[in-house]
Homo-oligomer: A and B are copies of this chain.
Amino acid sequence: MGGNTFGTLFRVTTFGESHGAGVGCVVDGCPAGLPLSAEDINRELIRRRPGSGSVSTTRSETDKPEILSGVYEGKTLGTPIAILVRNENQHSEDYNNLKDVYRPGHADWTWEAKYGFRDHRGGGRSSARETIGRVAAGAVARVFLASRGIEIKAWTSSAAGVDAPVSESAGFDWNEIENNPLHMPSRAASDSAMEKIENLKAMKDTAGCSISCAVRNLPPGLGEPVFDKLDARLAGAMLSLMAAKAVEFGAGFAAARACGSELNDIFIPPADPAAVVNTTGEPPLPPGVPLASFRTNNAGGILGGISTGAELRFTVAFKPISSIGKPQETINRRGEKAELLVQGRHDVCVAPRAVPMVEAMCALVLADFILLQRTARIS
């Protein structure tokens, strides 16, 4: 099966190893007639590219995407959209010392246990470069969603143990997110986290983080119970990202400690009860179903696996980068004890680069459900 295809109707297949000829994706099922250009793809790829600061590696990736198919005269044809990004600036020799040992925290040993051998150069397929295909495909999905007014926005909600504020009253600032190296919604939080990250870097150590995501203008009705619920698919999408260890929706783990009377989100009647039919958006509400909104949003915008129309909210936890600069004990291919000193270019924290990855996977899930929802009712 392979596991490299995601989605039911809006489907993406990604390919590529870190030090092979290139990485990319094929998007199949994108509706025809959508305006799309290489620039739409490139804009997102730039956001996931390593920066030059303390957080990220210094591999100077240019990552120019080429659209190989599926677009004609600036519009999608309804045929597969293949996107290729060539690999360049590889320092394969940096990885020679990893050929025969297994890096702790990495997939080296498990890939061998599964497939019998691996491409050790740069982690092969389990490299961060693998996400280029996802981000490129997600960019296509985002154009489709944007044409429906749907906005996806992610940010770093914690890094190196420093939490960003969660409410605007506590200092959460949407406009700050793209202005600091960690993409936190608060300059103060970013500064504090960056200081910790600098310290960790000096100690040749790395840091974990969490990324939160909000989606606005999502129509109600998205999600396919019982197995392809909106949260189920998003959870699967998020945990498919490398280094992800947890995901929570709305109140999340706190919900497990709450009681029902405080967690239930109370319905608010529409201002005009006569305005019972929403005919805008995709899909519109069916005849006879009233508009609804909610006093709180502990549900994170999902009830019974279906979007409520309220803001979709979830958070993903990422472990620290496994490639630390300190010497580590490990074993080699002969099963003997060995010492490892990881070389090459490595991030300290996935935080800023994980933001567009989370957005991309979210976009892929939502585009799929937008299309699926067109088939939920007889007309």
Contacts and interface: CB of A to CB of B under 8 A. Distances in A.
Given A20-B68, A263-B320, 20 more contacts: A5-B28, A13-B80, A16-B80, A17-B77, A20-B70, A24-B82, A32-B117, A33-B377, A78-B114, A109-B289, A110-B221, A125-B226, A232-B236, A236-B239, A247-B247, A253-B317, A266-B329, A268-B331, A273-B335, A290-B332
Interface in A57-112: 66-72, 75-82, 84, 102, 104-107, 109-112
Residue with the highest number of chain B CB atoms closer than 10 Å, among A222, A259, A298 = A259
B259 A69 contact: no
A359 interface: no
Interface in A365-379: 371-379
Residue with the highest number of chain B CB atoms closer than 10 Å, among A79, A124, A291 = A79
Contacts of A298: 319
Interface stretch (A42-50, A174-182, A304-312): A304-312
B5 A1 contact: no
Residue with the highest number of chain B CB atoms closer than 10 Å, among A66, A69, A224, A286 = A69
A375 B258 contact: no
Contact of A20 (B16, B69, B233, B320): B69
A82 B16 contact: yes
B26 A13 contact: yes
Nearest to A19: B72
The 10 closest A-B pairs by CB, nearest first: A107-B304, A3-B224, A236-B236, A2-B28, A290-B335, A246-B248, A3-B228, A206-B260, A116-B286, A110-B306
B256 A319 contact: yes
Residue with the highest number of chain B CB atoms closer than 10 Å, among A71, A267, A336 = A267
A183 interface: no
A363 to B, nearest CB: 15
Given A107-B303, A319-B256, A324 B264 contact: yes
A8 interface: yes
B147 A378 contact: yes
Contacts of A320: 255, 258-260, 263
Contacts of A372: 1, 9
A119 interface: yes
A265 interface: yes
B259 A378 contact: no
Interface string A311-336: 00000011111111010111111111
Interface string A117-143: 111000011100010000000000000
Contacts of A336: 269, 273
A109 B303 contact: yes
A116 B32 contact: yes
